[in-house]
Amino acid sequence: MSPHLAAAPGMRLLSGIAGPDDLRALPAADMPALADEIRGFLIDTVSASGGHLGPNLGVVEVTMALHRVFDSPRDVLLFDTGHQAYVHKILTGRWDRFGGLRTAEGLSGYPSQAESAHDVIENSHASTALSYADGLAKAFELSGRRDRRIVALVGDGALTGGMCWEALNNIGSARKRPVIVVLNDNGRSYAPTVGALADHLGALRSGSPNAANLFDLLGFAYIGPVDGHDTPALEEALRQAADLRRPVVVHTITAKGKGYGPAEGDVAEQMHAVGVIDPVTGVPVSGGKRSWTSVFGDELATLGAERPDIVAITAAMPLPTGLGPFIQRFPSRVFDVGIAEQHAVTSAAGLALGGLHPVVAIYSTFLNRAFDQVLMDVALHRLPVTFVLDRAGVTGADGPSHHGVWDASLLPVVPGLRLAAPRDPRRLRELLREAVDHQDGPSVIRYPKAVAGPDIPTVRRNGTVDVIREDPGARVLLVAVGSLAAAALAAADDLAAHGVPSTVVDPRWTAPLHADLVALAAGHDLALTVEDTTATGALGARLAQALAETGAPARAATLALPPQFLPHATRDEILHAHGMDGAGIAANVMKLLNGTACTR
């Protein structure tokens, strides 16, 4: 699909906007019609590409008001979380590039410095914008650039994250350092906002005269609540906030999915993130194939019925991480802590200390935020906590911040931690059971954002390792980590056609490195690990070190991802680009055997 779009008949106003100056030149009377055009444009384009639909439908008027009152990029506009920046992109001259949204040649689904000077930060992990705002305000003050204003749009869901409160604590203490916090309160992140904060915002929304205002107590002027779909009221509130020249919270009330019937009727998530859908009905155009997430969710619910000590923890993402079936059956045993990954992990440690077995369901990329808690609060105490990492490895369209390519390199350094990568649905169920049965330290299971293919049978079990193909006289050992087993088997077919027999194994548990795998590698001329993770610290490096220590003549090499931030594209496109499909694996083996390969 071409990333460039032509103006459609329903874009009378929008087609004339090449930047914020054009928006500000429009009369206020045109704002409702423009908002309708933007919503229609979002529904048409995002339904074709997939992406974050509900959050952007909810911030149309807020974003319009921000760009009418403030002068971006001289004034700095920050978005938390960045997935609600589609309208910002439209109003800063990029509407004609939405045809390739989240594709390799198209726009990022988040702010991107490479796309526009209006995108100051590339944040797509929640709860960070206020800290950026605090640092920028200090920098502008010290450099004398007092003419530049800083505005951070932060959702009430993101406000559940601890970093927000660390930043508010600092921003509010500097009464003469102006930072404007626009609180986009729609009562949700992925799921409804939880905790005492949600109760407090509810009291502020209701206008309760007895409600103490936490933002006042933290040193902010408070303006609101303001109807987040009333552009004149928003513009007035924002101008008032700018005139105060001090830290201000502008509390706006919005409706996620505003103006789109299917989203407004989606009680669970307000169509927070969608694949390709029918723009009229909101129904997915294709589907029906089993995802890794759904396999995990069903098995955890089954385990929950067998084991009353199993509880689940999520950081504001109960349904995206597959906890729906468990929630339906055991609602009192699920704890949504908000966007607070560090708290989630240490709270899990407390649950384990109390005799329960917590299962922390989290995206791989978000566990990075809680590495210290895994290390010091769980592993140091040898606590039985199971971490299930969804979206591990290459995820695709969400881009560099969401590829889960670090966990498998970071986590093996944690003493006593066990790390598994299932190759198929049956192994996911088996490994999950082994994880929750383990009582002496944390276990981690990782799997990708992808369709869970058919089960791959085991030829024989070699200790802890599954042999899934064994050619007579094999010279090459392919160590297929997780879902890359199918690609490794395809590579073995290719190699056999070129007269190179091979053995293909699934190590199941990739950390700690087991002696069974080392012994298998020592019996071949070449052992190549194929891993959906960054090469630094990967299994292949650990295997090579172990082989060297044994003195075995076998060589070990790693086929993994480079230590770089990977762009947005489909998972298959990225894996192919790095030689991690069947043909690429086979080609790498042949080069290694000929002494010409450059492994990553």
Residues making up the binding site for thiamine diphosphate: 83, 124-126, 157-158, 186, 260, 341
AA letter at 73: P
User: Nearest CA to 546 among 412, 427, 447?
Assistant: 412
Distances from the Cα of 534 to the Cαs of 43, 358, 412, 492, 558, in angstroms? Answer: 36, 28, 13, 23, 10
User: Nearest CA to 525 among 558, 485, 482, 478?
Assistant: 478
The H or E element spanning position 306 is: helix 292-306
Number of alpha carbons in the 13 Å side-chain half-sphere of residue 177: 18
> How many Å apart are CA 562 and CA 319, to the nearest integer?
31
313, 342 in Cβ contact below 8 A? no
CB burial readout 549-567, b (16+ within 10 A) else e: eeebebbbbbbbbeeeebe
Which DSSP letter does residue 444 get?
Answer: E
Number of H helices, E strands in the chain: 23, 18
Candidate list 341, 418, 423, 427, residue with the active-site label: 341
The H or E element spanning position 293 is: helix 292-306
> How many Å apart are CA 445 and CA 361, to the nearest integer?
10
> How many Å apart are CA 375 and CA 384, to the nearest integer?
13
399, 573 in Cβ contact below 8 A? no
Candidate list 97, 177, 369, 600, residue with the active-site label: 369
Residue 502, classed as helix, strand or coil, is strand
User: How many other CB atoms sit within 10 Å of the CB of residue 346?
Assistant: 18
- Structure tokens, 592: 């290694």
Residue 209, classed as helix, strand or coil, is coil
User: Nearest CA to 579 among 593, 600, 564, 596?
Assistant: 600
Which DSSP letter does residue 290 get?
Answer: P
- Structure tokens, 251: 């509390």
Candidate list 256, 391, 423, 429, residue with the active-site label: 256
Question: Angle 5-399-530 (CA atoms, 0-180°, nearest 5)?
Answer: 130
> How many Å apart are CA 534 and CA 578, to the nearest integer?
11
Catalytic, 341? Answer: yes
Catalytic, 369? Answer: yes
Residue 208, classed as helix, strand or coil, is coil
AA letter at 324: G
Measured distance between the N- and C-terminal CA atoms of the chain, rounded to whole angstroms:
31
User: Binding site for Mg(2+): what residues are annotated?
Assistant: 156, 186
With residues binned 3-state (H G I as helix, E B as strand, rest as coil), the percentages for the chain, rounded to 5, are 40, 20, 40
CB burial readout 250-275, b (16+ within 10 A) else e: bbbbbbbbbbbebbbebeebbbbbbe
> How many Å apart are CA 465 and CA 506, to the nearest integer?
6
- Structure tokens, 431: 């490994």
**Residues taking part in catalysis:** 256, 341, 369
